[in-house]
Structure 1
Amino acid sequence: MKHTLLFFTCLFILNADAAFAQNKHFTTSGTIEYERTANMFALVKKKVTKSTPDAKYYYDEYIKREPQFRKLKSILIFGNNTSLFTPVKPEESVWYNYDSPMANQLNIIYNDFNNGISIIQKEFFERTFLVTDSIRKIKWKITDETRVIAGYTCRRANGLVLDSVYVVAFYTGEIPVSGGPESFAGLPGMILGVAVPHENVTWFATKVTDSTIDSKTLTPPKQGKPVNNQGLYDDIMKVIKSWGDYAIVALKGYLL
């Protein structure tokens, strides 16, 4: 009798779990609004320490006049296992003397997850590049830590990008698209939060809208000099190789 009762109890639990899974809604298309936050005091200080001693004066002036955090907005639309990330033009620009690639949004990014292709329209000084290559590979390690972002339960993953840049991401399996803000991708669900602690910048979703996206709006950017990742790297290095120690800091900002 006890074995029979246990059998039917287990059967009931399994059926309940299956019914829950069948009824659970997954968002496969829609719009995500992100807010990007850069710690300008930290970014400016890096540039000062890699520059001349006289630059400290400008850093002191900056922290007197400017807010510590610069917030920028962006929009990601997704559907049919593709995504398009587009920055929202800021109302104000960073004080010119301390503009930084890590403080700005330089990319329009189209990802085709079915074919593993990424097309990026990237601004670099007064030049525009159209970078076509494979979707960036990031070495992720998924953890048990969770948090809620924009109403979705997300799991933490730690990763390395550009071989050495430490990244923390939070993704949700409730949006089964392997994308995220900028070029962050490769997890079993949409990335709603990213922190790059050593580069002093974060991205977090503020709103997710579940909706049907017209395929005509999910088209890759088309402007710029056609290059691949290596070609972009070579062109950037031609410009920044004379920047001394700050060249490495700037390179991360342009390539992230």
Structure 2
Amino acid sequence: MKSLLFKLLAIILVLGFTTPEYETFQGKAIYFSKAKLELGRWGAKMSEMQKKQIKARLKNRLEKEYVLTFNRKESFFKEEEKIDAISGATDSWGKNFSPGDQYKNIQSNELIQSQEFYGKRFLVKDQLQKIQWKIGSESKKIGNYLCMKATASIPTKELTWYNFSWSDLRKTEQKKDSLGNTVEPKIEMTEVEAWYTPQIPVSHGPAEYWGLPGLILEVSAGNQIMLCSKVIMNPKDKIEIEAPEKGKEITKMAYQETIKGKMIEMRNNRGRRRR
């Protein structure tokens, strides 16, 4: 009987000490994102001065700041909106093809993301993107945190599902071979390099990235690098993490089709006006 009482007391003591810690374990990470300017075939026709002017005009799209708030099971990722230094306004056009406020729940495998496209608000609900990470042995320090390296190969469209480009559309349009058979477009992959710290034992990260045994502090993917500049653990003011709620519910795939359909419609309407 005494043995049972001691066991019950031990369980109560463990719960008493661990439950508050579990509930209050939360933090905030600030990320700076920078992307390289890719002008494609048009860049070859431009002077260096023209390239600099375009880069200055697109600065708000190439360099961004984000905030990730998190606890053990949830995270909320949001861009800090900037005013354009040249026009004095926010980048309204760019918002149509940039990621909105993103909520991830690793316990329920749930993604909820708020997207706005030409004045219409959508609430994208889907499962989290599965990432097959390969954990390496390399390490480095980012700020005060020791980080380990991990790599993965992820379908590009899964990382940029909120975006649109005419080149991507041309690649996905049905093509026929010499025998008239439909040729399936090749699935493009993006090689990702991430650095995570086991010192912050959560499986969160910025944007679509998650699933490592520690907070992801740096990600390099394609022409973009995202680096954490500051981490605040267990701030005095409690962080409330809530999923977006407003907008038409839709899946990632359906959202992609919606964007593609609207852009094709705009192109066709523009072509009619020119006739």
TM over 0.5: yes
Deviation at 1:161, TM superposition (A): 2.0
Structure 1 segment 241-252 matched on structure 2, within 5 A = none
User: Does 1:61 pair with 2:50?
Assistant: yes
Query: 186, 199, 211: which one pairs with 2:234?
Result: 211
**Residue identity matched to 2:120:** R
User: Does 1:90 pair with 2:82?
Assistant: yes
1:110–1:120: 8 Å Cα contact kept in structure 2? yes
Deviation at 1:190, TM superposition (A): 1.1
**Residue identity matched to 2:209:** F
**Residue identity matched to 1:30:** G
Aligned CA-pair RMSD: 3.5
Deviation at 1:225, TM superposition (A): 2.1
Larger Rg: 2
User: Does 1:184 pair with 2:178?
Assistant: no
1:87–1:105: 8 Å Cα contact kept in structure 2? no
What SS class does the counterpart of residue 219 from structure 1 fall into? coil
**CA–CA distance in structure 2, aligned partners of residues 125 and 193 of structure 1:** 32
**Residue identity matched to 2:254:** G
Deviation at 1:101, TM superposition (A): 6.1
User: Does 1:148 pair with 2:148?
Assistant: no
The residue that corresponds to 2:261 in the other structure is 238
Deviation at 1:243, TM superposition (A): 10
The residue that corresponds to 2:69 in the other structure is 77
Question: Could you state the TM-score of these two structures normalised by the residue count of structure 2?
Answer: 0.64
User: Does 1:48 pair with 2:42?
Assistant: yes
**CA–CA distance in structure 1, aligned partners of residues 84 and 41 of structure 2:** 21
**CA–CA distance in structure 1, aligned partners of residues 41 and 203 of structure 2:** 34
2:32–2:64: 8 Å Cα contact kept in structure 1? yes
User: Does 1:170 pair with 2:195?
Assistant: yes
User: Does 1:220 pair with 2:243?
Assistant: yes
Question: Per the alignment, do residues 114 and 123 of structure 1 end up closer, same or farther by CA in structure 2, a change over 3 Å counting?
Answer: same
Question: 1:43-102: per-residue Cα shift (whole Å, max 9, x none)?
Answer: 2x13737xxx9xx45986242464496321111111141110111001227989x99969
Question: Per the alignment, do residues 156 and 93 of structure 1 end up closer, same or farther by CA in structure 2, a change over 3 Å counting?
Answer: farther
What SS class does the counterpart of residue 133 from structure 2 fall into? strand
**CA–CA distance in structure 2, aligned partners of residues 60 and 243 of structure 1:** 32
User: Does 1:139 pair with 2:141?
Assistant: no
1:106–1:122: 8 Å Cα contact kept in structure 2? yes
Question: Per the alignment, do residues 109 and 47 of structure 1 end up closer, same or farther by CA in structure 2, a change over 3 Å counting?
Answer: farther
2:142–2:217: 8 Å Cα contact kept in structure 1? yes
Question: 1:1-38: per-residue Cα shift (whole Å, max 9, x none)?
Answer: xxxxxxxxxxxxxxxxxxxxxxxxx9941110110111
What SS class does the counterpart of residue 52 from structure 2 fall into? helix
Structure 1 gaps, min length 5 = 1-25, 245-256
Question: Per the alignment, do residues 181 and 58 of structure 1 end up closer, same or farther by CA in structure 2, a change over 3 Å counting?
Answer: farther
Question: Per the alignment, do residues 243 and 150 of structure 1 end up closer, same or farther by CA in structure 2, a change over 3 Å counting?
Answer: farther
Identity of aligned residues (%): 25
**CA–CA distance in structure 1, aligned partners of residues 71 and 65 of structure 2:** 21
Question: Could you state the TM-score of these two structures normalised by the residue count of structure 1?
Answer: 0.68
Deviation at 1:224, TM superposition (A): 2.4
**Residue identity matched to 1:156:** K
**Residue identity matched to 2:256:** Y
